[in-house]
């Protein structure tokens, strides 16, 4: 995260607005650069794609035909502009594998993935903050040590291992949950929640540990600041110190931790979806990578990156807004 105070000039009336606008512009520039990177990757691909796709035995005519069909005969710059223009309108071109429009497939899958990640976030964020606070409150005592050790173990487990453990015990042995986690249109919310229960548990397990450890670190650094000692020496109660003196200053670091881990959640979704055969973006992308369906890979890559960039931007902007030095300039 770039330093927020570094850019403040004296006598600047609206450092807050200026920094927020600057952060927004940075994200747009970043997204633009990422799109070039993702698109440019295809150009750097060794060998001609049509040949790879049709196999070595393909006739030159068939190759030329396919190239024209996929638009590969156009200059790269033209194709990039077309692609970007389409992407901005939500049109990601045609899948090479299914020959159908990518957007059609992505629309439903994106909302499936966001649902999965959203439910996981709704559970893990409050839980992580709660555990972080408990851990700091009982710092270096039994609850803290247990949470610490458990979370160290949890961050060491691969997502797919957690997933299969859950499946084996809850779906197969105990028959409490469904596997695979198939969802389809027209499913009621409760039904949907029941289906995603296991994948959500897996995601929460993985993200929670990271989020809680970082929340704890952020809280500890605020709690050891001199103004908290001042509050103690003013005879304030522990609760008032935490709520009134620590919390306002902990908002920025904790929001940052949450955004960082939500971004992590976006990635965790990929593996969990594959494990639970859940029809989301992650599974779609992995399948596309395996068969080298480039329009799909590009579309998924861009969307994942955009979400990630957006979350990080949000965290930075909240941190800027939460900074009293910027809200109340000299």
Partner 1 sequence: MRLRAIPAGAWIGLAGIAAVAICAIFAPLIAPYTDRQIVGGVWEPASARFLLGTDNLGRDLLSRMIYGARVTLAVALAATILSFGLGILLGFAAAVSGGLIDAVLSRGNDLMMSIPTLIFALVALAILPKNLFVLVLVMAVLDSTRVFRIGRAVALDVAVMDFVEAARLRGEGPLWIIFREILPNTLSPLLSEFGLRFAFAILFLSTLSFLGLGIQPPAADWGGMVKDNKDGIIFGISAALVPGAAIAALVICVNLVVDWLLRRTSSLKGGRGDG
Partner 2 sequence: MAELLSVRDLRIGAISHPPGEPPREVTLVEGVSFDLARGKVLGLIGESGAGKSTIGLATLAHGRGGVRITGGQVLLDGTDILSLGRRDVNRLRGARVCYVAQSAAAAFNPAHRLIDQVIEATLLRGLMSREAARARAVHLFDILGLPDPASFGDRFPHQVSGGQLQRAMTAMALCPNPALIVFDEPTTALDVTTQLDVLAAIKHAIEVTGTAAIYITHDLAVVAQVADDIMVLRHGRVVEYGPARQIIDAPGKDYTRALVSAQRTTRAEAADQSGAVLEIDGVSAGYGGGANVLEGVSLRLPKGQTLAIVGESGSGKSTLARVITGLLPPATGRVLFEGAPLPPSAARRDRDQLRRIQLIYQMADTALNPRQTVRELIGRPLGFYFGLRGAAKTARVTQLLEQIEMGRGFLDRYPAELSGGQKQRVAIARALAAEPEIILCDEPTSALDPLVAEGILRLLARLRRETGVSYLFITHDLGIVRAFADSVAIMHRGKVVRAGRKSAALSPPFDAYTARLLACVPEMRLGWLEETLAMRKDPDQ
Shortest Å, Cβ 237 to partner 2: 7
Per partner kind, with CB cut-offs from 5 to 8 A, the member of partner 1, partner 2, none near residue 229 is: partner 2
DSSP assignments along 96-156, one per residue: TTT-SBHHHHHHHHHHHHHHHHHHHHHHHHHHHHHHHHHHHHTTTSHHHHHHHHHHHHHHH
User: Contact between 285 and partner 1 (CB under 8 A)?
Assistant: yes
Give the CA distances from residue 25 to residues 13, 19, 28, 35, in Å, rounded to whole numbers and listed in that order: 20, 10, 5, 15
Nearby residues of 112 by Cβ (< 8 Å), 6 or more positions away: 183, 278, 279, 280, 281
Neighbours of 314 (CB within 10 A): 16
* Helices and strands per DSSP (H, E), number in the chain: 14, 0
- Given a contact cutoff of 8 angstroms between Cβ atoms, the answer to whether 39 and 295 are in contact is no
Per partner kind, with CB cut-offs from 5 to 8 A, the member of partner 1, partner 2, none near residue 168 is: partner 1
User: Contact between 221 and partner 2 (CB under 8 A)?
Assistant: no
Q: Between 126 and 158, whose beta carbon lies closer to partner 1?
A: 158
The pattern of x and - marking residues 306 through 325 that bind partner 1 according to CB under 8 A reads: --xx--x-------------
User: Contact between 235 and partner 2 (CB under 8 A)?
Assistant: yes
Shortest Å, Cβ 243 to partner 2: 12
Answer for which of 234, 243, 267, 277 binds partner 2 (CB under 8 A) is 234
Give the CA distances from residue 32 to residues 76, 92, 295, 302, in Å, rounded to whole numbers and listed in that order: 16, 16, 17, 10
The pattern of x and - marking residues 265 through 304 that bind partner 2 according to CB under 8 A reads: ----------------------------------------
The angle subtended at Cα 34 by Cα 31 and Cα 40, nearest 5°, is: 140
User: Contact between 324 and partner 2 (CB under 8 A)?
Assistant: yes
User: Contact between 227 and partner 2 (CB under 8 A)?
Assistant: yes
Q: Compute CA 54 distance to the chain's CA centroid, rounded to the nearest angstrom.
A: 35
Q: Between 231 and 262, whose beta carbon lies closer to partner 1?
A: 262
Answer for which of 211, 288, 317, 326 binds partner 1 (CB under 8 A) is 288
171 secondary structure, DSSP code: I
Per partner kind, with CB cut-offs from 5 to 8 A, the member of partner 1, partner 2, none near residue 309 is: partner 1
The pattern of x and - marking residues 16 through 55 that bind partner 1 according to CB under 8 A reads: --------------x--xx--xx--xx-xxx---------
For residue 43, count CB atoms less than 10 angstroms from its CB and return exposed for 0-12, middle for 13-18, buried for 19 or more. exposed
Answer for which of 40, 100, 158, 248 binds partner 2 (CB under 8 A) is 248
What is the Rg, in whole angstroms, of the alpha carbon atoms belonging to the chain?
24
Nearby residues of 213 by Cβ (< 8 Å), 6 or more positions away: 148, 151, 155
Neighbours of 46 (CB within 10 A): 6
User: Contact between 304 and partner 1 (CB under 8 A)?
Assistant: yes
User: Contact between 222 and partner 1 (CB under 8 A)?
Assistant: no
Residues within window 156-185 making contact with partner 1, judged by CB under 8 A:
156-161, 164-165, 167-168, 172-173, 179
Q: Strand, coil or helix: what is 243?
A: helix
**Residues making contact with partner 1 (CB under 8 A):** 30, 33-34, 37-38, 41-42, 44-46, 152-153, 155-161, 164-165, 167-168, 172-173, 179, 263-264, 266-267, 270-271, 274-275, 285-286, 288-290, 292, 294, 297-298, 300-301, 304-305, 308-309, 312
**Residues making contact with partner 2 (CB under 8 A):** 225-227, 229-237, 240, 244-245, 248-249, 324-325, 328, 330
């Amino acid at each position: 995260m770039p330093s927020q105070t570094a850019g403040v000039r004296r006598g600047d009336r609206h450092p807050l607005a200026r920094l927020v606008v600057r952060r927004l512009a940075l994200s747009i520039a970043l997204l633009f650069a990422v799109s070039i990177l993702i698109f440019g990757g295809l150009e750097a691909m060794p060998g001609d794609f049509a040949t790879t796709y049709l196999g070595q035995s393909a006739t030159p005519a068939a190759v030329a035909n396919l190239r024209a069909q996929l638009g590969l005969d156009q200059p790269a710059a033209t194709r990039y502009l077309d692609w970007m223009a389409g992407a901005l309108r939500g049109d990601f071109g045609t899948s090479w594998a299914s020959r159908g429009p990518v957007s059609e497939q992505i629309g439903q899958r994106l909302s499936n993935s966001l649902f999965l990640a959203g439910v996981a976030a709704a559970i893990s964020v409050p839980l992580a903050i709660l555990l972080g606070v408990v851990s700091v409150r009982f710092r270096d005592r039994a609850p803290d040590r247990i949470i610490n050790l458990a979370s160290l173990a949890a961050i060491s487990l691969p997502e797919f291992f957690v997933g299969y453990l859950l499946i084996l015990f809850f779906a197969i042995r105990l028959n409490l949950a469904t596997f695979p986690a198939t969802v389809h249109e027209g499913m009621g919310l409760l039904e949907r929640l029941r289906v995603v229960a296991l994948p959500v548990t897996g995601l929460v397990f993985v993200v929670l540990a990271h989020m809680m450890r970082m929340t704890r670190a952020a809280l500890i650094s605020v709690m050891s600041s001199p103004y908290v000692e001042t509050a103690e020496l003013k005879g304030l109660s522990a609760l008032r110190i935490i709520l009134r003196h620590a919390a306002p200053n902990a908002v920025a670091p904790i929001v940052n931790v949450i955004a960082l881990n939500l971004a992590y959640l976006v990635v965790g979704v990929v593996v969990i979806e594959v494990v639970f055969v859940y029809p989301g973006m992650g599974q779609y992308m992995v399948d596309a990578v395996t068969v080298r369906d480039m329009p799909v890979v590009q579309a998924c890559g861009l969307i994942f990156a955009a979400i990630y960039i957006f979350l990080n931007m949000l965290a930075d902007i909240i941190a800027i807004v939460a900074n009293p030095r910027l809200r109340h300039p000299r």
